[in-house]
């Protein structure tokens, strides 16, 4: 009897180890819970590198909707076998504060793999027809008449950031929600909305072509890829310091050997010269850290964004 129990227990230990040794033996899916934007760009950069490293196709699967909730729920309910990953970003940490009930627990239902990259702040930008050359000039305009701004959806971090800007500045800003960051950008450049706050990779090409005027970066210091744009501190808005990050997670229960293998491969991909250069060109800093550090960031960000939601007075019906 004892021998049978020993063999049974040994089998339970051996199964995850054997799974890790043969992992991956079929395509791996990376779920991006948004359409266009920084998370999608990051996922596609890494998918190419990971495909080369692991010898299996790494497929990017866009599942947008409900500020990332739809895609996250899909991953939370997927088999915990390492073949379905979730791209997480600040919105993942915001959702617990803006939705009364989520179909998953971001801390209990997901295991962190690693943080991929981060940006030194977001960009406050306007259509060039707007008569403001600085954040303070935009505030002055907002005190004379309402300003409109676009975001990828109600409760999105970019919505929160812009709403917080209006609250800190004491001006009324009319929110126009869209279904993706790309749609916001199109309408801003055509003059349908006047302002936005967006991730650096999304707006960087358009700042250079003079189709969007950048007024401020939401950081303590200036961005190395936009050295002429004042920081939030320089703009006199210390309460607007906020960064942007992207990470990877898997469903809780994924065998530890597979979590470790994923961490090893993804950190290696993040550190690959081509990937690092592409991130740098996008104004992002490559990270690559441990699963424990990735999980701690999500926990810390949930607390931080909860305070932002309260300060901005955001509510989702």
pLDDT, tens digit, 9 for 90 and up, residues 5-18: 444 445 555 555 55
Angle among Cα 168, 173, 174 to the nearest 5 degrees reads 150
Banded model confidence at residue 38, pLDDT cuts 50, 70, 90: confident
The Cα 117–Cα 246 span in angstroms is: 6
User: Which has the higher per-residue pLDDT, 252 or 316?
Assistant: 252
Tell me: the pLDDT tens digits for 115-146?
Answer: 999 887 899 999 999 999 999 999 999 999 99
Phi, psi at 179, each rounded to 5° = -95, 0
28: β partners: 58
Q: What's domain 2-120+243-312's architecture?
A: 3-Layer(aba) Sandwich (3.40)
| Residue ranges per structural domain of the chain | 2-120+243-312, 123-240
269: β partners: none
The Cα 51–Cα 311 span in angstroms is: 43
The Cα 135–Cα 166 span in angstroms is: 11
Tell me: the pLDDT tens digits for 235-266?
Answer: 999 989 888 899 999 999 999 999 999 999 99
Banded model confidence at residue 153, pLDDT cuts 50, 70, 90: confident
Q: Please report, for residues 57, 185, 206, 249, the alpha-carbon distance to residue 159 in angstroms, rounded to integers and kept in the order given.
A: 34, 14, 20, 24
Nearest in space to 160 (alpha carbons), one of 42, 307, 317:
307
The Cα 184–Cα 75 span in angstroms is: 27
Residue 68: partners with Cβ closer than 8 Å, 6 or more residues away: 33, 34, 89, 91, 92, 95
pLDDT of residue 12: 54
- Written as one string, the DSSP assignment of 15-64 is HHHHHHHH--SS-EEEEESSSSSHHHHHHHHHHHHHHHHHSS-EEEEE--
Which CATH code for domain 123-240? 3.40.190.10
pLDDT of residue 3: 53
pLDDT of residue 243: 83
207, 225 Cβ separation under 8 angstroms:
no
Residue 289: partners with Cβ closer than 8 Å, 6 or more residues away: 114, 115, 267
């Amino acid at each position: 009897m004892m021998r049978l129990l020993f063999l049974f227990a040994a089998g339970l230990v051996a199964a995850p180890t054997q799974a890790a040794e043969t992992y991956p033996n079929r395509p791996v899916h990376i779920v991006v819970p948004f359409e266009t934007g920084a998370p999608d760009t990051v996922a596609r950069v890494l998918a190419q590198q990971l495909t080369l490293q692991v010898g299996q196709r790494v497929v990017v699967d866009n599942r947008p909707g409900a500020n990332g909730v739809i895609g996250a729920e899909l991953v939370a309910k997927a088999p915990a076998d390492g073949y379905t990953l979730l791209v997480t970003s600040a919105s993942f940490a915001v959702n617990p504060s803006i939705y009364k009930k989520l179909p998953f627990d971001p801390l209990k239902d997901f295991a962190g793999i690693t943080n991929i990259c981060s940006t030194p702040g977001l960009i406050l930008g306007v259509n060039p027809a707007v008569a403001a050359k600085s954040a303070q000039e935009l505030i002055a305009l907002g005190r004379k008449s309402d300003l409109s701004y676009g975001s990828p959806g109600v409760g999105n971090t970019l919505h929160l950031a812009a709403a917080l800007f209006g609250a800190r500045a004491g001006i009324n800003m009319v929110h126009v929600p869209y279904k993706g960051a790309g749609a916001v950008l199109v309408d801003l450049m055509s003059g349908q909305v006047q302002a936005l706050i967006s991730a650096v990779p999304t707006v960087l090409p358009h700042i250079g072509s003079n189709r969007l005027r950048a007024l401020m970066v939401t950081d303590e210091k200036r961005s190395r890829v936009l050295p002429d744009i004042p920081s939030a501190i320089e703009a006199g808005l210390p309460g607007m310091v906020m960064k942007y990050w992207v990470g990877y997670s898997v469903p809780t229960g994924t065998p530890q050997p597979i979590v470790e293998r994923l961490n090893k491969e993804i950190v290696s991909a993040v550190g690959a010269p081509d990937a690092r250069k592409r991130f740098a060109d996008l104004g992002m800093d490559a990270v690559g850290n441990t699963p424990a550090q990735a999980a701690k960031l999500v926990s810390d960000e949930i607390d931080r964004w909860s305070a932002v939601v309260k300060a901005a007075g955001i509510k989702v019906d």
